[in-house]
Amino acid sequence: MISSPSPSPSPSPSSSRTPKGGSATPPPRNQASKWRSGAVRGVYGRRLLDALRATGGGQPRAVKAAADSALALTARGQTRWSRAILLAGAACSRRRVLVKAGGKVRRRRRPPLPVQARDNAAAAALLKGKGKEKDKVQERLRVLGRLVPGCRKLPAPALLEEAADYVAALQMQVSAMRALTDALAAAQLSSSPADAEAGR
Amino acid sequence: MRHASPPQELPAAAAAASGGEIQAALAPATASSTAAGTRGGGGSFTALLGLPTSQAMELLLPRTAPPPALALAPAPAPAPAPAAAPTPTFPSDPHLVDRAVRFSTFAPPSPSPPPPPPPAAAAAANAGKRKAEPIDRASKGKAAKKGKTAEEKPAGGDGDDEKPAYVHVRARRGQATDSHSLAERARREKVNARMELLKELVPGCSKVSGTALVLDEIINHVQSLQRQVEYLSMRLAAVNPRVDFGGLDSFLTTECGRIAGFNCKNGIDLEQVTWPEMGVHGARQLMQLQQQFWHGDLAHPHQVASQWEKRGDGHLPVFSNSNPSLFGYDLTSSGTQQTPATKLKTEL
């Protein structure tokens, strides 16, 4: 049922347009809210525990790999970095399984990749600074691309979006692991004297 | 006549209208709202282009209320532009028509819309692009208003696949309006929006101004987070060998206490089944299965943990057996697990 024509329709389209920033992609979601919900923490906690059970023991590298894979799983493969982590785990030993194909599977955006790749230098540089400052920004963007897994050759807007999601995910990972270690340490402390007593 | 039809009917009718049948439907019934009703649905303004002018205009011009734009989108109620209804403009020059098709601008409205054929097409094309705002702004009389036709994102969102995708950018007063600068401005806004997100995420970035410094902060933050993960994993590895994973239930409940427990019959099967799958198939299947798995997991978060505790020994060995396949991607797992996965799909 159409309401009577009023000014109200126009603010809503325009206000709904502003957060999108005129982008051709779906609006950048609020990554922090996505990664801070209790449900996600629960999912990640469970996956982390499974991964930890699977690891062969007290090797920090294995634990870190397990934690990262669990994090990437929790990300549901919707982001590049999560896919890159999972595929890195998958392709480590044997045949490099379809890395590129796997990376393009669940794109939620239309991927004008050639255009983006071509415009990368232009987009990142032209829009982020003037004169010599472009280089600094470019350099930092490249460093950021190296830090975020699977995002080396990404153009600026996609890279920033991936970085935002990655930062939020990392924060959740750190807090979850910290809670886990504290809980385990506390449980261990409380249980080991009891065991010692029972054993005696 | 059409004009007598109640305003509310038109949007519904236009929304119901689908492409292609318009001409056929229009031929018998000239101006009845029922004809409009049979015309079929959104997104088919191209069909309007083939309409005879007067009928197209009738379709486009409800005298009383909303808009021609309905013909297009899955008529989201707020979308249609009221102001456009009485007087959309019809440029008569062909090159203007061409521009009008690409740009979402309207000339100052004329009292009596002349009906030459191409303007009808232009009007249809223009009207179809959900122009609440351009109409309002055109009516404000700003000069030098121009905008690229936008990527269609109607409020419904997923109605139309036929519309071309453009980027909608509104030029402001005093700004260059050629397509290059518009494109640059669109890109800049995109990047700036994401930078804003990042700045909110990373603590201590709000007081820093300048992109390079903000990026510096972000890089430092990411590095520090990664170092923390390494440190915590080392601690966890130190704690791990002596823990029997017995008290995990308490940990999970504290971590995610407020998650509602859904009813889950197959919480365990989900995980037993999907993990071996990953080794066998390609990455694409991996993603599909993982998606299913995640859907299931999120639907039954709490039950799974309790079921683990209950199943105890019977479950854990199987689980730890299949788990290495996730991380080591052991390719020797059989392909016969496909049926449980398909069953998984249907259950989800």
pLDDT digits (tens, 9 = 90+) for B156-195: 444 445 555 676 766 677 777 888 889 989 988 988 888 8
Provide CB contacts within 8 A for B49, sequence distance 6+: B56, B120, B121, B124, B125
pTM above 0.80, yes or no: no
- The residue with tokens 């009008």 is B100
Instruction: For residue B254, count CB atoms less than 10 angstroms from its CB and return exposed for 0-12, middle for 13-18, buried for 19 or more.
Output: exposed
Question: Is the pLDDT at A13 greater than 50, yes or no?
Answer: no
Question: Is the pLDDT at A172 greater than 50, yes or no?
Answer: yes
* Contact of B3 with B32, CB cutoff 8 Å: no
The span from the CA of A186 to the CA of B235, in Å, is: 13
The span from the CA of B227 to the CA of B229, in Å, is: 5
User: What are the tokens at A198?
Assistant: 């029972």
Question: Is the pLDDT at B217 greater than 60, yes or no?
Answer: yes
Model pLDDT for residues A29-41, shown as the tens digit of each residue: 566 778 888 888 8
Provide CB contacts within 8 A for B201, sequence distance 6+: A31, A32, A164, A167, A168
Measured between beta carbons, which residues in chain B are less than 8 angstroms from residue A8?
Answer: 78
The answer to whether the Cβ–Cβ distance between B291 and A77 falls below 8 Å is yes
**Amino acid letter, B270:** L
Most confidently modeled range among B224-228, B231-235, B321-325? B224-228
Rounded mean pLDDT, B51-74: 49
Nearest to A47 by CA among B260, B255, B287: B255
- Residue A66: what pLDDT? 87
The answer to whether the Cβ–Cβ distance between B133 and A13 falls below 8 Å is yes
For B155, the closest chain A residue by CA position comes to: A13
Q: Which B residues 119-148 touch A at CB under 8 Å?
A: 130, 132-133, 136
Q: Does B259 touch chain A (CB under 8 A)?
A: yes
Model pLDDT for residues A44-91, shown as the tens digit of each residue: 888 888 888 887 777 888 888 888 888 888 888 788 888 888 888 777
The span from the CA of B266 to the CA of B286, in Å, is: 20
The answer to whether the Cβ–Cβ distance between B282 and A97 falls below 8 Å is yes
Q: Which B residues 282-301 touch A at CB under 8 Å?
A: 282-284, 286-287, 290-291, 294, 297-298, 301
Question: Is the pLDDT at B286 greater than 70, yes or no?
Answer: no
User: What are the tokens at B129?
Assistant: 């692009």
Query: Which H or E run contains A63?
Result: helix A60-74
To the nearest whole angstrom, how far is the Cα of A105 from the nearest Cα of chain B?
6
Model pLDDT for residues A108-147, shown as the tens digit of each residue: 444 444 554 455 555 565 656 666 667 888 888 899 899 9
The answer to whether the Cβ–Cβ distance between A23 and B193 falls below 8 Å is yes
**Amino acid letter, B240:** N
Phi, psi of B41 (to 5 degrees): -85, -165
The span from the CA of B273 to the CA of A68, in Å, is: 22
Rounded mean pLDDT, B291-302: 46
Per residue in B14-23, is it b (16+ CB within 10 Å) or e — as a string?
bbbbebeebe
Provide CB contacts within 8 A for A125, sequence distance 6+: A134, A135, A137, A138
Packing angle of the helix pair B179-201, B211-239 (nearest 10 deg): 40
